[in-house]
Structures are given as structure tokens and as C-alpha cells.
Chains A and B, each alone.
Chain A
Amino acid sequence: MKSSLAKRCFRLILFVALYLPGFGSAEDTATSDFTSALNKIATASMQEREAAVQQLISLKEPRTLLILQGLLDGQLYKLRDGDKLVLAKQKDKGFSLTDAANGDDLGTKESAEIQKIPLNNSLRVLLRKSLGSLQLNSNEINTRIEAVKAIAKVLDDESLKLLRDRLAIEQESIVQDQIKLVLALEQLNSSTKSTRIEAIDLLKDHPTQDVVNRLNTLVEKDDEGNYLETDNDVRNKAKTALAAINAKISLYSGVETLFFGLSLGAVLVLSAIGLAITFGVMGVINMAHGELMMLGAYTTYVLQQLMPQQLGTALILSIPAAFMVSAVVGIAIERGIIRFLYGRPLETLLATFGVSLVLQQTVRSIFSPLNRSVAAPEWMSGTLQINDFLSLTWNRLYILIFCLLVFMLLLQILKRTRLGLEVRAVAQNRNMAKAMGIPTAWVDAMTFGLGSGIAGVAGVALSQITNVGPNLGQAYIVDSFMVVVFGGVGNLWGTLLAGFSLGIANKLLEPTAGAVLAKILVLVFIILFIQKRPRGLFPQKGRAAEG
């Protein structure tokens, strides 16, 4: 709604801008020139069209940029009936049209009723350059930066001149830097040695893929083993610059690996932390833990189906909703089955395994066995581009933050609330706690609900990085157990550390060993680690732990 309103206002202004000037005579000629240029573009031959385009550019009308861009992108058409120039966007079977001259909505037409304005190569080059120059002088800083980048791809004397001219009048330092960089790349071709060396110096601090490629040409040899670049100083300078840049790049890739590792670790921690509570604090091996995560993921899916327009809100709402759904199911499992099996871990394991199969089957019959994909809201998709060599995906970044938040919250719950106190008391000595009047049955149910609820929340996070299907839980259950066991049962910090270190180890190994082998190596590492420390990183101590 909002955006269409804005569009309408915009059109109104445009309308005023286009028609009101019609009262003055000077503007009159300008408008008629504009119209005639458009007419020529629509009807004239290829050669004349080029002249018309140039004329259009010289007029500096506000719509010029739009029209030329449309022409370049193949969206500029004319109506077969009357030769009116239109911008067309494919829509369903036909095209939705807007008047090129004033942006009026012309409804949709069949493809037979319109004809594309043809382009040739020289026209295309002309368009690129002129669009560049138009954009370069735009009022928007971002447009200008984009323009500089675009121009850098088709450098020639003319475009260089454009850039220099702009540099002379440019006020913004970001844009200035950007232009300087492009010019520096050019200066490498200069015949003056000092200019080239200066250029290398400048480029060294602003590495992009282009810079690396260009510098590489300075240090390469030809087939006979002679350097392509004959100037020793320049070549050496380039070498050191490249070395510095490569060091930076490997630092970035290190940071990136670390980030990947942390984000994988965050997923592991999220999926393991609920287990750390049910398994670690209560000693219950809950094989249905993965399915509780799956329920959380499906909750996200359902909410998104309910409000497809507001993906972001749906996602935020999914967090409490998934918590509740999984917690309720978890409490039902605890009250219905597990409480009869305390102190019998093997029976618990089998019973909850049965529950996991039932849950999977239920989901299969309600939602079909196929995987569902949960769309990511806009702010979750895309990347945070830090530079040419380092970009972080938003969804992983959010999951990392989310994981830490959940962890902190959980820690606070266990540390500061009455429930937390009771949970710890029951974990340490069930009978004593009971004797002191702690309602152990209630505490058990609540603890299990808490652990399960967190599994549900983990499911929300998972839905953002993988497809949601009935087998979602299975994929994570082994990993979750591994994390809890590695960290030391009954220790949340251990779980956190274990999750992150396993995540990072996985990603460190991946480049050399490949994803699957990395995972195998990590598993083997855990198996060996357990030999060294049979009770994990942070073992529980005391006589109670020996039983």
C-alpha cells in the first residue's frame, strides 16, 4: 500500500514537472525537442537513432536516464499502432506498459502489439558511456559510486576524461577515493615510472579483485620466461604490493572461515542446548529431541503460511510459538512416558525413539512427506558485503546472535529463577530435593518442557538455513549428542564451547578435506577425545557422578 501511494505521488510530481513547464516558451522548445528525439528513436534508422540518442542526452530531461536504461536493458518498445515509445515489463503472458515520455500507465498489451527498439553494438557502447556520465553526475552518492564502478569496466580515453572531470568537482570523499582507484588502475599503464609506482602504492591499500588481477599481470612471465613487465622497480613494487594484498586476503578468508565455523557452531549449540538440559541436567536420553526441533521448524512454516505478506513478523512470532508447541509436546512426552522410566536410561532411549517415529509419521501425514521451504524475510537474506574478499550472510549472522541470546537467557533462567534453583537441586540429589519439599515431579516436567521448548526455538533457526521436512530432526540428533558429550554432560558452558569448537574445526578442515571427510574427521576426533577424557571437556565431579 505504502509503496503504491508513493508511486502515485511521484507520478503527480512528474506530471506537474512535465506539463507545467509547458506554459513557458523556452521550456516549450525543450519539450518539443524531447518529443521529437523520442520519435526519432522510435522510427528512424539505426544511424539516425544514434544521433537521436545523443540529442536526448544533451537535453538532460529527468526521464532520460530511465529511457536510456530501458533501451539498454531491452525494455524499450514502441506500439505498432502509432509508434508511441513505451517501457514494457513482461507480466504473465503479456506486457505491462508505461509511457516512455511521461511514465503514464498504459495497461497491458499482447506481445504482438508492440515492437522492441533494436540496438547495435556501437549504440550499446554509446549508451553505456552516456548512462555512466549521466549517473556519474547524479545527485545520489550511491548512484555515483555505482557509476564509477560501471565505468571502470569499460575504460577508454573518453570515460577517463569523464572520471577526471568528475573528480575535479566531486565533493564526497568516498566517491573521490573510488574515482582515484579507477584512475590509479589506469595510471599503471602510464609511461612515467613515478606515476606507476604511486599508483601501485595507492592500489595496495584498496584491494579488489580487479586490482589483484591487474597487479598479477605486472609480475607474470611470458612463455619464454621473460617478465612481461620490463621495469624492475615497478615489478618489485608490484610484487611487494601483491604480497601485502595476499596477506590481507588470507586474513579475510581466515575471518570468513571463522565466521562459517561459528555459524555452524551456533546451529550445533542451538540444537544441542535443549538436549544439554534434558540429557545433561535430567539424565534423560531423549531420542525425540530432533523431532521437537522439527516441530519448531514446522511451526515457523505454518505461521508463514498464515501470514504470507509479513514474513518478518511471522518469523519473530514463530519463536515464542515454536517454544510453546515443542514445550507442550515435550511435557506431554515427559508426563506420559518418561516419568515412568527415570533411572532406566536404556528404556527411556527406546521409548523416546518410538515417540520420535510417531512424531515423524504424524508430520508426514499432516504436511506430506515432502520437504517444505520456509522463505526468509528480506532482512534475513542477502549478504553483508564488507569488501571484495569478505562477505557475511545475514541469516548466519542472525543465527549466531540468536544462539548467543538463547544461551544467555537460558543461563539466567537456571541461575536466577526459582525454577532454575530447583532444577539444579533435583539434578544434584533427587531424593534430598524431594525430602526438602521440592515438587520434583513438577520440576521434571518444567525442565523437560524448557529443554523441549528450546529445541523448538532451534527449529525456527534451522528453518532459515535448510528445508523443513519430517527428517529434519534425524539429521541433527547425532550431532547434538556429540556436542553434549564432548562438552561434558551437565555443563551448559561446555556445550557452548564444544558446539563452537566443533563447528570451527569442521570448517577449518573442510577446504583441505572436503565437507564429508571433515565431518568424519571430527567424529573420529570426538571418539578419540572421549578416550582421553571419558566424561567430556567439563566432567561432573563428586561421588554422585560416579554412579
Chain B
Amino acid sequence: MTALALPTGEVDTSHGPILYLEGVSVSFDGFKALNNLSLYIDEGELRCLIGPNGAGKTTLMDVITGKTRPDNGSVFFGQTIDLLKLDEPAIAAAGIGRKFQKPSVFEKLSVFENLELALATNKGVWPTLFAKLTSIQRERIDEVLLTIGLIESRWQQAGDLSHGQKQWLEIGMLLMQEPKVMLIDEPVAGMTHQEIERTAQLLLSLQGERSVIVVEHDMEFVRSIAKRVTVLHEGSVLTEGTMDEVQNDPRVIQVYLGD
């Protein structure tokens, strides 16, 4: 039963970083998707993660959220919470939320219901069975609906939304969870130019309050939000710095343009 117990209390960030990854390796049938990777994310930081396709960005998120178990290395949430000892729901409950690369909303449920499910509250079986939305929670959902621009389509089935709207809905679900760390995999794919701008604003407004890790290929978007950028290549960190530093790094140029 110990695995079922959710970690309670505050995340201990007394030493700075909220997320520690050290020496993490993942291999699939001998192929190293992550290779001795180390990464530290500070509390309230907005970090961009870039790298060519197959660099291991999604795999990295899989490791943090408990989807994939690494062969080696350690992953800590704050000073005390060993994420490798927790499973997906426990990690989510501890305060790590995730938006998937491929939008995965609950298509048969309405937009409102999607957000309701994500709502940060007791997610045990019996409490869920008897759950009733309080007025505060309703307001919270409305607030998020407004933020993600779906207030009009709140009763629409999520499956009927456009690709961009689904992306927004996923971000909305992430907001509902009120996580301390948000992992956002390719949020602006399929969005219009304006939507991209709105997303950038939203993410910027979150920093300070929450730590955010964004994976994105759209360099313009990255430039518009990023303070620090980490470049992944073949499963390990190639370099880390501001957008300008990174873009002028010859190794990065070589990785992106090929030799």
C-alpha cells in the first residue's frame, strides 16, 4: 500500500532547484534514447528544451512523469521526493502536470467535463463518486475556460474541437491541476499565428508562480518566451544558455544543419 500513499506537504526547494535529474539513461533494445543526462530546473523557472527529432525530449518527460523507468540515474522532485519510487498518479498528485505532444483530451466528454476531471481535488474513488462542484470550483473552471478561449464551446464534445483548440484544452487541463511543475510538449503545433502569441503570453504569465518546461520546434516562439534554453542531442545535454548563446554555439549549428 505504500506506493499508493500520495506524498503530502510542501515540496522542499530549500536548495534552489525544484527538479533534479542526474545521470539518467534510458535504452530501448540497446538504443540509448537518453544517455547519462543531467538537468536542474529552478523553482518558478521557464525553461525551453530544444533539439532535433529523436533527441529524447519526449522521453525525458516520460521519465519525469513516471511513464518510462530509466535504467540508471536519479530523478528528484525538490530535496526529498524520489520520483522513481512513485507511479504516474502519485507523481501527478505530487504536483507535476503534463501536456502531451499528441493532443490527448477525452473526446467523448465535453470541454467543461474535461476540465472538471483535471480539477485539483481529492481524486480517490469514493470522493469522486460523491463529488459535487463547489461554487469556487465552478468559478475556477470558468476562469480557465476564459483563459483558453473556449468559454463559448464549454458544452461541446472535445472530440469536435479543432487541433489548435485541443491544444488549448490540454493546456487548460494542465492549469486546472495547478501543478508546481508543468511539462509542455510542443504546444503550438497546429496553432495560428495569433494563437501562438496568446500561448506565449500565457506561459510567460505563469513563470514565477510555477516551473515550466516547454519543448518546441518553433524557434520564433521559443525566442519569444525563453530565458534559458537547453539543447538536447542524442539523449544528453549538448549545451545550455540564453537563446542567443545557444544559437551561436557552433555545435548546435552543426547538430541542426548537419555536417
Which residues of chain A have a CB within 8 Å of any CB of chain B?
541-542
Contact = CB atoms under 8 A, between A and B. Distances in A.
B66 to A, nearest CB: 15
B152 interface: no
A173 B210 CA distance: 94
4 contacts: A541-B28, A541-B29, A542-B28, A542-B29
A115 B29 CA distance: 86
Contacts of A542: 28-29
Interface in B1-44: 28-29
A541 B29 CA distance: 8
B246 to A, nearest CB: 29
A83 B28 CA distance: 94
Nearest to A541: B29
A122 B29 CA distance: 83
Interface residues of B, number: 2
Interface in B205-233: none
A409 B96 CA distance: 52
Nearest to B29: A541
Contacts of B29: 541-542
Nearest to B67: A546
Contacts of A541: 28-29
Nearest to A542: B28
A-B residue pairs, 4 tightest by C-beta: A541-B29, A542-B28, A541-B28, A542-B29
A542 B28 CA distance: 8
A541 B33 CA distance: 15
A447 to B, nearest CB: 25
A49 B207 CA distance: 121
A328 to B, nearest CB: 39
A339 B29 CA distance: 33
B183 to A, nearest CB: 19
A541 B28 CA distance: 9
A542 B33 CA distance: 12
A375 B29 CA distance: 51
Interface in B59-78: none
A295 B17 CA distance: 68
A538 to B, nearest CB: 13
B150 to A, nearest CB: 28
B227 to A, nearest CB: 33
A317 to B, nearest CB: 45
B184 to A, nearest CB: 21
A323 B62 CA distance: 47
A493 B29 CA distance: 19
A542 B29 CA distance: 9
Contacts of B28: 541-542
B138 to A, nearest CB: 36
Interface string B169-193: 0000000000000000000000000
A252 to B, nearest CB: 45
B58 to A, nearest CB: 10
Nearest to A543: B28
A547 to B, nearest CB: 11
Interface in B87-136: none
A544 to B, nearest CB: 12
A541 B27 CA distance: 12
B27 to A, nearest CB: 11
A105 B96 CA distance: 100
B31 to A, nearest CB: 10
A494 B14 CA distance: 52
A28 to B, nearest CB: 94
A490 to B, nearest CB: 15
A202 B143 CA distance: 98
Nearest to A546: B67
A326 to B, nearest CB: 36
A539 B29 CA distance: 12
A428 to B, nearest CB: 14
A535 to B, nearest CB: 15
A90 B28 CA distance: 76
A411 B29 CA distance: 23
B56 to A, nearest CB: 14
A234 B202 CA distance: 99
A525 to B, nearest CB: 25
A169 B29 CA distance: 73
B110 to A, nearest CB: 25
A302 B176 CA distance: 69
A517 to B, nearest CB: 33
